[in-house]
Amino acid sequence: MFNKAKKAERRELQRLAEQEERERQAEEARLRAERIARLTLEREADIARYEAEEFARLRLLVENGTTTYVHAEKHLPVDARMNVLGSAGGLTSLLDEINRHGLQGWEVVSVVPRTYGGFSSHKSAKSHAPGTLNTGADAQEVHLGGHVVGVYVLLKYAINAQNFVASEALVRATITELLPERLRAPIV
């Protein structure tokens, strides 16, 4: 009898300890959820304050005559074979896309080819072992290799006193994209 009572008492103590542990974990989870909710509200307020301050700072710059710029990139698919450019949807469609951006005020700054493949090099007499890329002082040239599969068009949009109001949505979206790390880091 004494043994059964001891076992029952140990089971009851084990059950109580497990229940206490579950309650402790539930309380920790509740407190963590409350903390995250509070920090999320604080973060949202900090973001709103930062965005308002940054927008006001940019507005003041523009009102004082400074031109600010927003940059973007647009990928346009192309084919390395020239006959494709003359076909339907070829060069004309690429120019149409660039013109659409131009009519919205975007200026093309640069065009960077996107290739599928590797590099090739032409080396001088002092070349390195076969299969290595010679980029030293004696290297003659390095060429992009592979097939051109598209271009990245780098665009610039000027924001000045004349178009600031019309560009407000773009300015606000850019400010949101460029939030400092402290406002983008996950809340844990």
pLDDT in tens, 118-171: 655 555 555 555 544 445 555 555 555 677 778 889 999 999 999 999 999 999
| Shared-domain flag, residues 138 and 76 | yes
In this structure, the answer to whether residues 83 and 151 fall within a common structural domain is yes
Whether residue 120 is found in the same domain as residue 186: no
d(C-alpha 55, C-alpha 62), whole Å: 11
Residue 59 pLDDT > 80, yes or no? yes
CA 186 – CA 188 distance, rounded (Å): 6
Average pLDDT, the chain: 83
Provide the pLDDT confidence category of residue 82 given band limits of 50, 70 and 90.
very low
Same domain, 96 and 15: no
Q: Are residues 57 and 78 in the same domain?
A: no
- Across the strands, what pairs with 148? 115
What tens digit of pLDDT does each residue of 14-26 get?
A: 999 999 999 999 9
73 and 93 share a domain? yes
Helices (H), the chain: 2-63, 82-86, 91-103, 168-177, 181-184
> Do 130 and 179 have their domain in common?
no
Same domain, 83 and 127: yes
pLDDT surpasses 80 at 35: yes
Strand partners, 153: 74, 111
More confident residue, 111 or 46: 46
Same domain, 23 and 102: no
Give the list of residues 6+ apart from residue 17 with CB closer than 8 angstroms, or none: none
Residues in Cβ contact with 72 at an 8 Å cutoff, skipping those fewer than 6 apart: 106, 154, 155, 157
Confidence of residue 187 (pLDDT cuts 50, 70, 90): confident
* Residue 92 domain boundaries: 68-159
pLDDT tens digits for range 100-125 = 999 999 999 998 888 777 655 555 55
Maximum separation of any 2 CA atoms in the chain, in Å: 98
Q: Please state, in angstroms and rounded to a whole number, the distance separating the CA atoms of residues 51 and 45.
A: 10
Same domain, 53 and 127: no
| 9 or 160: which leads in pLDDT | 160
Q: How many domains does the chain contain in total?
A: 2
Kindly state whether residues 177 and 116 are assigned to the same domain: no
- Asked if residue 123 lies in contact with residue 139, where contact means CB atoms within 8 angstroms, the answer is yes
Residue 62's CB: how many other CB atoms inside 10 A? 19
What SS3 state is found at 163?
Answer: coil
Do 103 and 150 reside in the same domain of the chain? yes
What are the residues whose beta carbons fall under 8 Å from the beta carbon of 109, sequence distance 6 or more? 71, 154, 155, 156
